[in-house]
Amino acid sequence: MGQRAVSGTVMSDTHKNEMAANEGEAAQRTAEQRETEQLTPGAKAARSGARYTTISAVFVGVLLISNVVAVKPIAFGAIAFGGFELPLVFDGGVFLFPLAYILGDVLAEVYGLKASRRAIFTAFGLAFVASLTIWLVQISPPADGWENQEAFAAVLGFVPRIVAASLIAFLAGQLINAWVLDRLRMRTSGRFLRMRLIGSTVVGQLIDTLLFCTIAFAGIITGIDFVMYVLLGYLVKVLAEVVLLPLTTRVISAVRQAEAAEPRQ
């Protein structure tokens, strides 16, 4: 009898704990439902697409920053190769621009080709607006006492070749990167993620690098310097994708899981 009483007490306590937990979960769900009901249609839409919006915003920001600093070629010395010296020449965008392709991969892999294109065209449009704004500021007369007009024009001034190179290369490279990743995903039924990410980057970065370097600096950087500029820029961007591949796959997995768990209204 004593053992049965103890057993009954334990079962009763367990049952009470389960009921309390269920009541707590129900109360939480009710509170969330009330909060959702109080949201405006616009707030609901923003809430449901918050992750896509955040990733797209960072994607656009990376492009704009890269375009500003890409006007400066950077030389990191040279590599001796036989009787030649191979100069290590890059543009300023080499530090940050690879991140644009990583974010592009996340957008295309998680949200699909259509949503990825929307972010790419948004970034393209804002990059054009940024270039136009810089040009308008450049040609506007400076205020009395401001003596930095020449410095402003030299650093941020509207350079048609650079602007055209940045916009055309970005648009072509990102659209091709997203398209290749989407096609590979369908061909492999969603398997071999790392192979697909590297494959799309190899193609997209090749188009991007060739277009940008040729339009922006062909004739300005010449001979072996130009060849090394194109080759090293391309290799560094692809290697950055490979090095950051574990991070890219983790981000994709985390965003997928978060989107799958998100309640849809």
| Domain-embedded: residue 2 | yes
Does residue 7 share a domain with residue 115? no
Q: Number of structural domains, the chain? A: 2
Containing domain of residue 22, as a range?
1-38
Does residue 209 share a domain with residue 92? yes
Does residue 15 share a domain with residue 102? no
Does residue 30 share a domain with residue 157? no
| Domain-embedded: residue 209 | yes
Token pair belonging to 76: 């990191």
Statement: residue 71 has pLDDT above 70:
yes
Does residue 107 share a domain with residue 186? yes
Does residue 124 share a domain with residue 30? no
Residue 68: give its domain's CATH number.
Answer: 1.10.1760
Measured on CA atoms in the order 43, 48, 54, 57, is the torsion positive or negative?
Answer: negative
Mean pLDDT of the chain: 79
Report yes or no: 178 and 117 within 8 Å, Cβ to Cβ. Answer: yes
Q: What is the pLDDT of residue 28?
A: 59
| Domain-embedded: residue 44 | no
Does residue 112 share a domain with residue 19? no
Q: Is the pTM of this model over 0.85?
A: no
Does residue 133 share a domain with residue 32? no
| Domain-embedded: residue 160 | yes
Does residue 120 share a domain with residue 219? yes
Token pair belonging to 23: 């009541």
Does residue 63 share a domain with residue 4? no
Query: How confident is the model over 210-249, as pLDDT tens digits?
Result: 998 898 888 888 888 888 888 888 888 888 888 889 988 9
Does residue 54 share a domain with residue 34? no
| Domain-embedded: residue 240 | yes
Query: How confident is the model over 142-157, as pLDDT tens digits?
Result: 999 888 888 888 877 7
| Domain-embedded: residue 43 | no
| Domain-embedded: residue 165 | yes
Token pair belonging to 218: 């062909």
Report yes or no: 90 and 232 within 8 Å, Cβ to Cβ. Answer: yes
| The residue to which tokens 């490279």 are assigned | 173
| Domain-embedded: residue 20 | yes
Does residue 242 share a domain with residue 120? yes
Statement: residue 107 has pLDDT above 60:
yes
